[in-house]
Structure 1
């Protein structure tokens, strides 16, 4: 639980310190400033790179871009789009691939505080370059602690996931949702294993 509070604090700090609607940064690493922003007219992420003569590179339509809960923040190797709701959120990180001359999605992370008992709370991330997934999640056992209930941590989940390359021009919520669905199936499987282990003891 303390870890979730720390995570929430980090996200709030990030939002107040770094996050923004427009980012000016050398993304393609040629020594010239590039620009990334959320276009509120057609709800897209727009990237203008010096190595592409500053032409618009646009994502597909993103419903999340319509609200004030979606922001851009700089990352060492590119930029990240973060969407934060009251009790959950996610982030998608992009970087410029020099050989392909395209912006590629290289990482996805998500967090949740769960319901009132924090059932379903936790965090996860996947490195799309290596396929490495790491997740730390919890479930609430109503029968534990003499039926008073207890928040149970599922052992850290580490897995490999094969996900095709995703570029900025092809990116929309469906890309994130399809990855998140893979996360959910993995969490459910490990939750059931954790429940079975506890039932044996």
Structure 2
């Protein structure tokens, strides 16, 4: 009698199919789990006559092996089906997403914020070269010939006679503005500057300056104080 039941279970296993994870789980519950029909066959071992138990056990084990092999086939089938469906969901003709990559450097963010504030109160942005001549970096700003800043120990010189150096301040930008623009002038000059200093936790040979220039009639300390506020 049990032979007919076993043959029916084997036929059901062979005919079983699954294309989704839910169907795969249903198969597992029906044929693989402890409470499955195969599990019931093992549980019925006690009702089998002793002379038939060995043959019965071999047959049930073969059914269990058949169920497990079928389960592995269905796992691969469902996995392959999911990969194909995911690939089909991708439209390769779509433009790339506008995700922001990276972030703004703190120095750049601070510079932008300072410029934004000063532009709001009427200052224009002025920029100039980081490699400057002696006139714009020193002479036009009334640096005497023997000033320490004109020495090699304080300034990075690129050429001598005539002197060409990495600018030591952004005041050189203000000189260029005044050469090319008549008052009133209200300008902001942010930028990198270079000085020959020992590098430490508090100092570096490259740093940033922000200078403001306001040239007009009736401009006094009150205007400076209010601008700083």
TM-score after normalising by structure 2: 0.20
More helix by share: 2
More strand by share: 1
Larger C-alpha radius of gyration, 1 or 2? 2
TM-score after normalising by structure 1: 0.22
